A and B are shown apart, each in its own frame.
Chain A
Amino acid sequence: MILDEIKEALIEGNKEKVKSCVRQALDAGLAPSAIINDGLISGMQVIGVRFRNEEIFMPEVLVAANAMQAGMNIVKPLLIGDVEIASKGTVVMGTVKGDLHDIGKNLVIIMLQGSGFNVIDLGVDAAAEKFVEAVKQHRPQVVGLSALLTTTMAQMKRTVEALKQSGVKVMIGGAPITKKFADDIGADGYAPDAVTAVDLTRELLGLG
């Protein structure tokens, strides 16, 4: 079946095949939401499981995510109504104020999008107020904060405090961050890598 073909092509990271299969599926009259959920996202779920089991690694995940993006670019414009219909939830992501590093944050975003979450990317050097504003505007369930420098870890504390009233869950990560630091500043969770960040997001959303 064509949805299985999409899924398999995505797992292989075959971008061109994903694109042609998605077009085929649309021609056959399949609903865009079915292509996303039962083709693309279910393929990325397999990728996530295999990554956790260390059967595959980041290069395979990234080519799969790239293939997913190529498929999404075709289907997304055809979705009727809000795109978030096909989303499991919304996550606001950003690197905290004073920190311009974005490699880790971008890997988390790739993995979250691949797992069906809608991600709002605040970029780098994002002040606490910017996160507060984004939470008001986008109503995310989870906010993810990233930092690479020990000097900007203090900004995480500020941002967590600023977000406290909104009730949104906050996860943090980045090279110098530890579980203990996350607990100390009152964050809801800590993820040491991009895949754990997805697991943590699910957990915080009660998705199991």
Chain B
Amino acid sequence: MSMNADAKQQYQASLNRVLDAIKLKEPDRVPLIPVVEAFPYYYAGLTIQEGMYDYHKAGAALDKFYADFHPDLGWDPVLMYPGKIMELLDMKWFQWPGRGIEDPNSMYQYIEKEYMTEDEYDELLLDPTHFIQSKWIPRSFGALDGLKYLALRDSIWFGFFNTFPVFGRKEVQDSLQTLLKFAEEMNKWYTFLGEYDKKMENEFGVPLAYGAWGYAPFDWLGDTMRGTVPILRDIRERPDKLLAAIERFTPIAVEASINGAKASGRPFVWVWLHKGVDQLMSKEQFGKFYWPSLRQYIQELVDAGLTPFIYVEGSYHKRLEFLREVPKGKVVYDFEDIDMFEAKKVLGDVACIAGNVPNALLSYGTPAEVEEYCKKLIDVCAPGGGFMMDTAAMVDDAKPENMQAMFKVTREYGVYRR
């Protein structure tokens, strides 16, 4: 792999720009950190199905994006999840072109259902690990159904006389075989990603955006276990159990993110927020059920030397006061739908803010409209530092000329000093 002196320099300049913005200092210019999902693949003319079923093709498509665009933080092909490998598992809550979605150009989609029922809180609270292994995993992955027979927690003393023989069952063996095969294929994919990450650094000069991913403890329970409507009802119908489960999950969520960042050796942890939006609960409910555990999670990540990038999906107009309660200069809030002027006013001295360039504008607007929107954001949010340019939500089918307009205006108009 070639080591390119310009790339090295660009890499360092980009990273410094981002680190300055996080520390609430003025960098040389506003950093560009668009979270691109399907966009690079559409841009290169690759279908999502091709990208998901041949990760080398996905890598080649991403090459074109990085040759033409130079963001200050970038994503490797991790978001083109490997279709063939996921097929092994027979995943229930995910569909993609090649598995459940007809159009090869469609983005993959998440299918929400109740993977934990309202009467299972006690079981979850008694032993989350056993619940996840014996209930959540078999319900989520058809090919791992055999894991429901395992009850290793009962192995103490001569308990193993009862718990080990189950490995003789065909269903258990099939599931374990699937896991071995999965691990082998997954490690190949990780090797590929690791190579791509080096290429990003050494050839394109783009720092990788993520070290690990995470979720708010409330979403951990709400997204793939209870589901939106059920967990909102739980707020009214079984608030104590819900709170107990969130409390139980908080250290687990912290541990998972810290372990992920340790494994990658990179400190940026992207935390995708879902169910705390304005439309789904009151300010009081947010303050009781959603925020305390998220705040603790953020604090513990910061204490571990990590930088949480809180990716705030949906509308958060009424949550700003809460978001102040984090360590100063250590956190990024990347917003979708919010009054950025208000966000700057309330959060400006505490956290770096980013995001808010509307995806519909990027898909259906004109370059001039994009430029005008970005200029306004820069006028309002850039002064004093602590601002990064990003789209509102992850970008799929934006018009290339609109993405170019966002990059151009940020490079030219977002300059603090020459």
Contacts and interface: CB of A to CB of B under 8 A. Distances in A.
B257 interface: no
Interface in A49-73: 54, 56-60, 62-63, 66
B279 A193 contact: yes
Contacts of A107: 229
Nearest to A106: B229
B107 A151 contact: yes
Given A149-B396, A150-B360, A177-B360, A59 B232 contact: yes
Given A57-B285, A176-B359, A100 B101 contact: yes
Looking at A58, A60, A151, A184, the one whose CB has the most chain B CB atoms below 10 A away is A58
B237 A63 contact: yes
A116 interface: no
Nearest to B106: A98
Interface in A155-170: none
A193 B228 CA distance: 15
Number of contact residues on A: which range applies?
20 to 34
Number of contact residues on B: which range applies?
35 or more
A63 B233 contact: yes
A181 B358 CA distance: 13
Contacts of B232: 58-59, 62
Contacts of A56: 282
A175 B314 contact: yes
Contacts of B368: none
A129 to B, nearest CB: 15
B78 interface: no
B103 A98 contact: yes
Interface in B260-300: 279-282, 285
B109 A58 contact: no
B103 A59 contact: no
A104 B109 CA distance: 14
Contacts of A150: 359-360, 362-363, 396-398
A151 B38 CA distance: 10
Looking at A60, A106, A151, A153, the one whose CB has the most chain B CB atoms below 10 A away is A151
Given A98-B103, A149-B396, A151-B397, A59 B359 contact: no
A101 interface: yes
A150 B100 CA distance: 19
Interface string B81-124: 00000000000000100001111011101111000000000000
Contacts of B105: 151
Contact of A100 (B95, B280, B285, B397): B95
A181 B107 CA distance: 21
A206 B399 CA distance: 39
Looking at B101, B103, B112, B279, the one whose CB has the most chain A CB atoms below 10 A away is B279
A99 B109 contact: yes
B102 to A, nearest CB: 8
A103 interface: yes
B73 interface: no
Interface string A126-150: 0000000000000000000000011
Contacts of B364: 153, 181, 184
Interface in A177-196: 177-178, 181, 184, 193-194
A102 interface: yes
A103 B236 contact: no
A59 B281 contact: yes
A48 interface: no
A151 B101 CA distance: 14
Contacts of A153: 360, 363-364
Contacts of A102: 112
B397 A176 contact: no
Given A102-B112, A151-B107, A57 B363 contact: no
Interface of B: 38, 95, 100-103, 105-107, 109-112, 228-229, 232-233, 235-237, 279-282, 285, 314, 358-360, 362-364, 393, 396-398
